[in-house]
């Protein structure tokens, strides 16, 4: 989604805003822009289509300075990516606005404003905000009050940064439905969609809550809640360092994040296992009582996080004996599903701000009052705040739009949940200890899987001219195949579909020929022999196979078959381990194809709109 950054300082803020935009670029990257102002220079704006680098070039040609500024990196929703649609939007040369979210009543506001003589220069839903602030300002003559009145007129979701040429020392921010944080400096203040944007300038943050408005100057910030009452929100020190979001020696963030997985998974397990048991305190205060009452699990998520939920369903039913449903949140929220009060609603989200997942959770809490557990990577996110139980994945910031370490840490967290519930359903202590030992092995197994990197790199060239591909798995490896297919399509733009291998003969086999690679995952589990028969069906039709197989699976290279061996892993953790080669495959194919690996076309990292 879009990224916002803003600053009010004694020093020139343009370079701070540009560094912030670079760090937020993962949120949206089809255009970018900024406004800077001060008493001396007035209000200036630069915008450019494409990446933040294009805006930087623009600024080199036409520099800008100012002590107050707002900036934005866009992921188009209303209106194509173009300079006219890029933020900030300005009204009458006086009021400038950056916005993340969607204003649902923009058409109605636009009609009124056109009648009142406001001229529109973009197709965005955002421009109405600039005009509305301008209109209220004419009456009340106070920027914070004008923004407050404007937010009362808006329906939908927003995080806003607003400045006015008439008050060149002031920045007003507001949030409802989209994340926004204030960065607290010494004699200077900032705003951003994500703390990552501000780490070079501060580590002290105040997280705005739903409906909050912030009136910010160099010296101070004042907060108001949805009723307009003054409030204070806690100031928090971030433990992240600026380097946590830097690429280091890796060519792309995605590759860095793939290689961070052993550490990220180890961090996610840390302090949560002891004496062959999962420690329930990991789920938060009062977890034991909530988990005792759970008879069913309903998992809600989107994208890659949904695939983690799909894997967990196999675990929760087979290992914990708990009935489990999994659904993409954007469908669930609109179909009046039946959920019982003794169902634990588990939301899975890297960002904790995905609009569909949040809305589905709110709906089910309001209608049924179910207890909720969030599995999430961002401690300050809305999802975490709105769930009674929380299990943090400790993946660290994930910048590559295609999710990697978030997924494997989600799976790790879901294994912890599985074991905590399994114990209640009679899992013997020695079995739990065996599973816990497998979990403790996991970081090492991932390291071994990463050793396939060079071999997969060499394989990638075979994919560069392909247009379609098929991914096959069985059991919990089927959703892993889905995730592998998603990775490949997201970043290499090769059409990829996943099927449970047993389903092949019911349709997709018709597609198989020498031109379409078929990728299969074959751990040494109960379904291995059945999978092998399915792969024979592919070979018999001249299909070319790439198989990631357990060394003990008895699968070798042969005519039309390339096999990549993986050291044996316990069946429980195999879905996590086999994810790794599929990530590497997608990565190397994308690099060969020359696509933008970290920022694939048309996608955004955190989708905070419906
Ligand atoms: C977007 C991202 C995906 C992500 C999905 C859910 O589509 O591009 O990588 O899986 O949102 O995001 P969440 O933050 O809820 O896990």
Ligand 1 contacts CB of residue 603 (under 6 A): yes
Q: State the greatest distance between any 2 C-alpha atoms of the chain, in Å, as a whole number.
A: 79
Give yes or no for residue 305 CB within 6 A of ligand 1: yes
From the CA of 301, give the closest atom in ligand 1.
15
* Structural domain boundaries, residue 529: 451-599
| Å from CA of 407 to ligand 1 middle | 10
Residue to substitute in 26, 29, 179, 351 for testing ligand 1 pocket (most ligand atoms within 8 angstroms of CB): 351
Q: So what's the pLDDT on residue 369?
A: 87
Same-domain status, 202 and 337 = no
For residue 386, what pLDDT is reported?
A: 92
Res 36: pLDDT: 98
Residues 266 and 309 in one domain: yes
Q: Is 400 in the pocket of ligand 1 (CB under 6 A)?
A: no
In order, the DSSP letters of 124-188 are -STHHHHHHHHHHHHHH--HHHHHHHHHHH--B-EEEEEEETTSTT-EEEEEEBS--EEEE-SS-
The pLDDT of residue 124 is 94
Tokens linked to 66? 């100012």
237, 255, 281: which is the final residue of a domain?
237
Domain end position, chosen among 427, 460, 475: 427
Residues 565 and 468 in one domain: yes
Q: Is the CB of 309 under 6 A from ligand 1?
A: no
Does the residue 433 lie in any domain? no
User: What's the rounded Cα separation, in Å, for the pair 446 and 566?
Assistant: 10
pTM of structure: 0.81
Give the residues of the chain that fall short of pLDDT 70: 1
Nearest Cα to Cα of residue 102 among 224, 23, 1? 1
Which among 237, 271, 299 is the end of a domain?
A: 237
Mutate which of 258, 401, 607, 609 for ligand 1? The one with the most ligand atoms within 8 Å of its CB, which is 607
Q: Report d(CA 287, CA 120) in Å as an integer.
A: 53
Active site residue 91: no
Residue 243 dihedral angles phi and psi, to the nearest 5°? -65, -20
Q: Per the domain annotation, does 460 fall within a domain?
A: yes
Asked whether residue 312 is assigned to any structural domain, the reply reads: yes
**Phi and psi angles of residue 401, each rounded to the nearest 5 degrees, phi first:** -65, -40
CATH code assigned at 422: 3.40.50.10490
**Does 304 contact ligand 1 (Cβ within 6 A)?**
yes
Same domain, 188 and 76: yes
Q: 13 and 69: one domain?
A: yes
3-state helix, strand, coil in the chain (%, to 5): 40, 25, 35
Which residue, judged by its Cα, is nearest atom 7 of ligand 1?
303
Which two three-digit tokens encode residue 419? 């074991």
For 461-471, what is each residue's pLDDT tens digit?
Answer: 999 899 999 99
Contact indicator for 501, 474 with CB cutoff of 8 Å:
yes
Residue 444 in any domain: the answer is: no
Q: Is residue 260 part of a domain?
A: yes
Indicate whether residue 403 lines ligand 1 (CB < 6 A).
yes
Distance CA 464, CA 454 (A): 17
For 530, phi and psi rounded to 5 degrees? -65, -40
| Marked catalytic residue, from 51, 256, 405, 605 | 605
Q: Which residues contact 127 (CB under 8 A, 6 or more apart)?
A: 89, 91, 110, 120, 121
Domain presence at residue 442: no
Burial class for 200, CB neighbours closer than 10 Å (0-12, 13-18, 19+):
middle
Determine if ligand 1 sits within 6 Å of the CB of residue 238: no
Q: How far is the CA of 353 from the centre of ligand 1 (A)?
A: 9
Kindly report the protein residue whose alpha carbon is nearest to atom 2 of ligand 1.
605
| Cα of 401 from ligand 1 centre, angstroms | 8
Tell me what pLDDT residue 532 has. Answer: 82
Answer yes or no: is the C-beta of 354 below 6 A from any ligand 1 atom. yes
DSSP category for residue 218: S
529 and 584 in one domain? Answer: yes
Number of domains in the chain: 3
Q: What own/partner pairs with CB < 8 Å and gap ≥ 24 does 106-115 have?
A: 106/78, 106/156, 109/153, 109/154
Q: Domain check: are 215 and 97 in the same one? A: yes
Residues 196 and 299 in one domain: no
Residue 352 CA to ligand 1 centre (angstroms): 9
222 plus 368 within the same structural domain: no
Distance 327 CA to ligand 1 centre (A): 14
Residue 26's pLDDT is: 80
Asked whether 377 lines ligand 1 (CB < 6 A), one says: no
Residue 260 CA, chain-centre distance (Å), reads 17
Domain assignment of residue 563, yes or no = yes
Q: Which atom of ligand 1 is found nearest the CA of 383?
A: 15
Co-location of 358 and 504 in the same domain:
no
* 606 CB near ligand 1 (under 6 Å): yes
CA of 587 to the centre of ligand 1 (A): 18
**Do 251 and 400 share a domain, yes or no?**
yes
Shared-domain flag, residues 421 and 508: no
Q: Is 302 a catalytic residue?
A: no
Distance CA 143, CA 313 (A): 51
Which of 2, 91, 302, 324 does the annotation list as catalytic? 2
Ligand 1 contact via 73 beta carbon (within 6 Å) = no
Peptide bond into 150 cis (omega under 30): no
Gap from CA of 160 to ligand 1 centroid (Å): 22
Domain contains 30: yes
């Amino acid at each position: 989604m879009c990224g916002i950054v803003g600053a009010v300082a004694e020093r020139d803020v343009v370079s701070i805003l540009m560094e912030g935009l670079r760090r937020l670029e993962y949120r949206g990257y089809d255009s970018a822009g900024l406004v800077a102002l001060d008493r001396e220079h007035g209000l200036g704006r630069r915008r450019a289509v494409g990446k933040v680098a294009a805006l930087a070039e623009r600024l080199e040609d036409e520099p800008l300075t100012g002590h107050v500024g707002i900036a934005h990196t866009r992921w188009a929703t209303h209106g194509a990516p173009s300079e006219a649609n890029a933020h900030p939007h300005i009204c009458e040369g006086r009021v400038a606005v950056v916005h993340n979210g969607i204003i649902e009543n923009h058409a109605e506001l636009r009609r009124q404003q056109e009648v009142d003589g406001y001229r529109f220069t973009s197709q965005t839903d955002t421009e109405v905000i600039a005009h509305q602030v301008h209109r209220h300002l004419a009456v009340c003559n106070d920027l914070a009050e004008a923004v407050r009145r404007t937010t009362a007129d808006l329906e939908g979701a927003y995080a806003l940064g607003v400045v006015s040429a008439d008050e060149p020392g002031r920045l007003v921010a507001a949030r409802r439905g989209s994340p926004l944080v204030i960065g607290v400096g010494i004699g200077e203040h900032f705003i951003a969609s994500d703390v990552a944007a501000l780490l070079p300038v501060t580590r002290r943050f105040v997280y705005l809550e739903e409906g909050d408005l912030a009136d910010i100057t160099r010296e101070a910030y004042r907060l108001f809640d949805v009723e307009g009452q003054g409030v204070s929100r806690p100031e928090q020190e971030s433990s992240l360092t600026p380097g946590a979001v830097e690429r280091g020696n890796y060519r792309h963030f995605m590759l860095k994040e793939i290689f961070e997985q052993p550490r990220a998974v180890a961090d996610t397990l840390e302090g949560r296992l002891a004496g062959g048991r999962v420690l329930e305190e990991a789920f938060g205060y009062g977890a034991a009582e909530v988990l005792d009452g759970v008879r069913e699990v309903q998992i809600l998520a989107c994208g890659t996080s949904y695939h983690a939920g799909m894997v967990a369903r196999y675990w929760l039913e087979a290992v914990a004996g708990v009935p489990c449903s999994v659904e993409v949140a954007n469908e669930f929220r609109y179909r009046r599903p039946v959920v019982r009060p003794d169902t634990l609603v588990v939301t899975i989200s890297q960002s904790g701000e995905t609009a569909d997942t949040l809305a589905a959770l709110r709906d089910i809490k309001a209608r049924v009052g179910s207890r909720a557990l969030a599995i999430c990577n961002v401690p300050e996110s809305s999802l975490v705040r709105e769930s009674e139980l929380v299990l943090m994945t400790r993946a660290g910031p994930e910048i590559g739009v295609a999710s990697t370490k978030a997924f494997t840490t989600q799976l790790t967290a879901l294994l912890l949940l599985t074991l905590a519930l399994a114990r209640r359903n009679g899992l013997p202590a020695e079995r739990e200890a065996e599973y816990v030992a497998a979990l403790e092995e996991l970081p090492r197994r991932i390291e071994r899987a990463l050793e396939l990197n060079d071999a997969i790199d060499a394989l990638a060239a075979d994919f560069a001219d392909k247009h379609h591909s098929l991914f096959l798995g069985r059991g919990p490896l089927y959703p892993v195949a889905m995730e592998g297919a998603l990775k490949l399509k997201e970043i290499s733009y090769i059409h990829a579909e996943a099927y449970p291998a047993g389903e092949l003969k019911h349709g997709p086999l018709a597609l198989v020929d020498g031109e379409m690679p078929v990728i299969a995952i074959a751990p040494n589990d109960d379904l291995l022999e059945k999978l092998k028969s399915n792969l024979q069906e592919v070979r018999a039709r001249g299909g070319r196979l790439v198989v990631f197989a357990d060394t003990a699976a008895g699968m070798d290279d042969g005519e039309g078959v390339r096999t990549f061996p993986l050291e044996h892993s316990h069946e429980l953790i195999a879905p996590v381990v086999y994810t790794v080669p599929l990530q590497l495959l997608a990565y190397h194919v994308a690099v060969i194809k020359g696509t933008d690996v970290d920022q694939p076309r048309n996608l955004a990292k955190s989708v905070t709109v419906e």
